Amino acid sequence: MKDLTRRDQIAGGLAEVEARIAAACQAAGRARDELTLVAVTKTYPASDVRILAGLGVGDVGENRDQEAAAKAQECADLSLTWHFVGQLQTNKARSVVAYADVVHSVDRIRLAAALGREAVHAGREVTCLVQVALDDDPARGGARPADVPALADALAGTEGLRLGGVMAVAPLGADPVKAFTRLREVAGTVRAAHPEAGIVSAGMSGDLAEAIACGATHLRVGTALLGRRKPFVR
Ligand SMILES: *Cc1c(COP(=O)(O)O)cnc(C)c1O
């Protein structure tokens, strides 16, 4: 049998993901165009980003600044929206605002302030989401739900930034519907104060249907599109 080209592999993954999204939309009574698929390309090369772009994917996500900066530069000729989805240190703010259009992982005021400063400096406007912690594991990042409204207010009031909405990662091993239902409540609180902040970034390869059922607007999908990642070694 002839080996699949990388393009064939990725096209197959994309078709499967789109079929899952279509089924979940139908079950939830939602339209496909309410959802943005963000292809999480971490650990995969810029050539895969190029293939995804050729297949019509317009949004890509990364979680490490060094890797993302290099990839965004290699793909500067493509018109892509770049999403930063990983935990972010304040001292990386300058680098990240140079390429990121959307930062999903803002979980503290100091980080918001640094991103705003650097966005103004770079003459850019960056959409920011408040990352909400849905469990008590500080290693995964995120603001506690009680702290989210103040952080949303801070983002909305920071020059250079636009408050987009909220993001969360479902806790490992927990029921994703329970987690995403909680996120939907927090998103509603944010939207009551900031009606323009309609983004709900939830759902990964393993739980995208549950996220769609619970009102997600953005899905962050890596493995199901590109294959299982090699374990990351620092
Ligand atoms: C890696 C990553 C994803 C994608 O996860 P998959 O299970 O590979 O789809 C989504 N969100 C964040 C924050 C990630 O770091």
CATH of the domain at 139: 3.20.20.10
Q: Nearest residue CA, atom 6 of ligand 1? A: 222
85-105 as b/e, with b when 16 or more CB fall inside 10 Å? bbbbeeebbbbbbbbbbbbbb
Q: Is 164 in the pocket of ligand 1 (CB under 6 A)?
A: no
pLDDT at 80: 98
pTM of the model: 0.96
State the average pLDDT over residues 204-230.
Answer: 97
- pLDDT tens, 59-72? 999 999 999 999 99
Q: Is 26 in the pocket of ligand 1 (CB under 6 A)?
A: no
Distance of CA 78 to CAs 54, 139, 220, Å? Answer: 9, 34, 20
pLDDT at 140: 75
Write out the residue range of the structural domain in which residue 131 sits. 6-226
Determine the Cα–Cα distance for residues 190 and 203; give it in Å rounded to an integer: 19
Domain assignment present for residue 231? The answer is no
Domain assignment present for residue 233? The answer is no
pLDDT at 232: 59
- 212 pLDDT higher than 60: yes
Local confidence band at 233 (pLDDT 50, 70, 90 cut-offs): low
Helix axes 6-28, 46-54, angle to 10 degrees: 60
CA of 167 to the centre of ligand 1 (A): 12
Least reliable range by pLDDT among 7-11, 112-116, 123-127, 137-141: 137-141
Domain assignment present for residue 196? The answer is yes
Q: How high does pLDDT run on average in the chain?
A: 96
- pLDDT tens, 23-50? 999 999 999 999 999 999 999 999 999 9
Domain assignment present for residue 123? The answer is yes
State the average pLDDT over residues 186-190.
Answer: 98
Pocket mutation for ligand 1, best pick of 63, 129, 166 (most atoms within 8 Å of C-beta)? 63
Using the atom order of ligand 1, give the atom closest to the CA of residue 204. 9
Domain assignment present for residue 67? The answer is yes
Question: For the chain, how many structural domains are there in total?
Answer: 1
Pocket mutation for ligand 1, best pick of 102, 218, 220, 228 (most atoms within 8 Å of C-beta)? 220
The strand ranges marked E within the chain are 36-40, 59-62, 81-84, 102-106, 126-131, 161-167, 199-201, 218-221
Using the atom order of ligand 1, give the atom closest to the CA of residue 229. 8
State the average pLDDT over residues 106-110.
Answer: 98
Using the atom order of ligand 1, give the atom closest to the CA of residue 105. 13
- 136 pLDDT higher than 80: no
Check: CB of residue 201 under 8 Å from CB of residue 188: no
- 149 pLDDT higher than 80: yes
pLDDT at 231: 73
Determine the Cα–Cα distance for residues 121 and 52; give it in Å rounded to an integer: 31
Q: Nearest residue CA, atom 7 of ligand 1? A: 205
Local confidence band at 141 (pLDDT 50, 70, 90 cut-offs): confident
Q: Is 63 in the pocket of ligand 1 (CB under 6 A)?
A: yes
Residue 103 amino acid letter: V
Q: Is 40 in the pocket of ligand 1 (CB under 6 A)?
A: yes
Domain assignment present for residue 171? The answer is yes
- 1 pLDDT higher than 60: no
